[in-house]
Amino acid sequence: MTADDLVTLRRDLHRKPEPAWREFYTTARIVDELESRLGDDLAELHVGPEAIAGDHRLAVPEETEFTHWYEQARDAGVDDATLERLDGGYTGAVAVLERGEGPTVGLRVDIDGLPQTESDDPGHRPVAEGFRSDHEGAMHACGHDAHATIGIGVLERIAESDFTGTFKVFFQPAEEVVGGGKAMAESDHLQDVDSLLAVHIGLDHPTGEIVAGIDGFLAVSHLEAEFTGASSHAGGHPEQGRNAVQAMATAVQNLYGIPRHNDGATRVNAGVVEGGSAANVIPAEARIVAEVRGETTDLMEYMKGRTRQVLRSAAAMHDCEVELEIGAEAPSATSDEELVSIVADVAGETPGVERVLERDELGGSEDATYLMQAVQENGGSACYVGVGTDHPGGHHTATFDVDEASIQHGIDTLAGTIERLGHDQ
C-alpha cells in the first residue's frame, strides 16, 4: 500500500467508528480491503463467528443495541450477505497467509471505536480535512482506525516478502469494553501460534519513537451492584423505608477505603452511581458500576474479593439486598525478552524511527493480554509493541488524532520483525 492508500483507508475507518460488537461497517471494510488487495494470496479469511469463540464474548450489549448500527452499515453500502455473517454482533476477522514450512506468527490489532463525541472545532484536523466522525456520539479516540490500517499494511508487506511460515492477523473487536480478547484467545486460530505481536499507537510516545516491549498491564474486572430496599414517604413515614441510595453511598465510601496491597499496585473506581426518583421518596433502588485493577491477576482478584465484601456489608448495614454481577475481565501479561530484542533491533533500522525504547509500562488494562497469555501458555512468545505518534489531546478525548506518518513506522517495524522470525527459524 502506498502512503496515500494508508491515509485513505485510515480516514475512511475514522469516519465510521463503531462501538464494541457493533463493528459491522468496520469488519466489512477490512474484509473488502483484504480481498481486493490480497485475493488468492490469502489462504484463509475467517469472518465474524468464524473468527471468534462466540460463547466467550464479554460485555455484549442488549440485542436492541445492534439494530441501529446494523442498518447504518447497510446504508453505508455494506452488502446483505456480509451483514448476515455478522448478525448478532459477531464481528471481527482473522486473515491467514501460508508461505511454506516455518513458524506461525500472529499480529493482533483492535478495531472498535468509543462512545465519545468527536470535537467539531475547526482547528481539529479531522474537521479541517473532512474526515471527522459521521456517527455522532462515536469516535476513534484511541487509534484503532490506525491499528486496523497497520494490520492490513503488514499483511500486504508479508505477502510480498520472502517470509517462510504462516502469518495470521487477528482483527479483534470490542477491546474498549475488555470484551473481545477472550473470544479470540479461545478460538482455534491461536492454538498453533509460536510468536504473537500486538500493537498500540500513541500511548504518550511521540512520532518516531518505538517501544519494543510494553509491560505493566493491570489485570481488570468490571462489576455491577444492584441495591434493593423499600420505598416510603420521606416526610410521613421515613422509618418504613429501606434506603438503597444510603447503602450505595456507604459502599462507595468504603470501596475507596479498601487497603492497598504490599505485593503491587491496585485500583478501584466507582464509575457509575445512580438511584432514586424524587426528593420526597425513600429510594428503593440504586446501582453502582465499578472496576478493580491489579498489577497482577492475583492482585486484581484480591481487589475483587474485597469489593464484594464491601458491597454486601453496605447492603446489610442498611437492611437492603444487593445483587452482584461480574462483567468483562482481562489478565495481566508480560512481553517476552527474546521477542522484545528482535523488535528493538528491527525498529533501530526502520526509516523514520529516531528512538527505540526496549521497555515501558502501560499502567492501564488491555485484553490483548488474553491472546498473549494463551500463546505463552502453549510454549510460544508474545510481545506488545508501542508505536509513537504525536496526538493532540489524550487518548479517549474529543480531540484525539494520530500523526499518519506513524502508521508506516508501525508497518515497517512489525513486518520487519515478522520477516526476521520467518528467516531465523
Mark which of 299, 329, 359 sits at the end of a domain. 329
| Exposed e or buried b per residue across 27-63, where buried means at least 16 C-beta atoms within 10 angstroms of its C-beta | bbbbbebbeebbeebbeebbbbbbbbbbebbbbbbee
The CATH number for 418's domain is 3.40.630.10
Shared-domain flag, residues 420 and 350? yes
CA atoms of 122 and 145, how far apart (whole Å): 21
pLDDT of residue 423: 78
Phi-psi region of 35 (alpha: psi -120 to 50; beta: other; left: phi over 0): alpha
Shared-domain flag, residues 185 and 300? no
Shared-domain flag, residues 64 and 191? yes
- Give backbone dihedrals phi and psi of 258, rounded to 5 degrees, phi first: -60, 130
Residues of the chain by 3-state class (helix, strand, coil), percent to 5: 40, 25, 40
* Residue in 115, 132, 136 with CA at minimum distance from that of residue 123: 132
pLDDT digits (tens, 9 = 90+) for 369-380: 999 999 999 999
Mark which of 329, 364, 390 sits at the end of a domain. 329
Mark which of 294, 314, 329 sits at the end of a domain. 329
Predicted TM-score (pTM) of the model is: 0.93
Shared-domain flag, residues 60 and 163? yes
Residue 349, exposed/middle/buried by CB under 10 A (0-12, 13-18, 19+)?
exposed
Low-confidence ranges of the chain (pLDDT < 50): none
Shared-domain flag, residues 316 and 400? no
Shared-domain flag, residues 201 and 64? yes
**Cβ contacts of 420 within 8 Å, gap of 6 or more:** 342, 345, 346
Shared-domain flag, residues 270 and 152? no
Shared-domain flag, residues 77 and 140? yes
Shared-domain flag, residues 377 and 397? yes
Shared-domain flag, residues 183 and 61? yes
Shared-domain flag, residues 354 and 386? yes
The string of DSSP codes covering 290-316 is EEEEESSHHHHHHHHHHHHHHHHHHHH
**Cβ contacts of 71 within 8 Å, gap of 6 or more:** none
CA atoms of 420 and 425, how far apart (whole Å): 9
* Residue in 373, 405, 400, 360 with CA at minimum distance from that of residue 126: 400
Which amino acid type is present at position 336? D
Tell me if 184 sits within 8 A of 370, measured CB to CB. Answer: yes
The CATH number for 243's domain is 3.30.70.360
Shared-domain flag, residues 147 and 8? yes
Structural domain including 366 reads: 3-216+333-424
Domain count, the chain: 2
Strand 355-361 to strand 209-215: parallel, antiparallel, or no bridges (unpaired)?
parallel
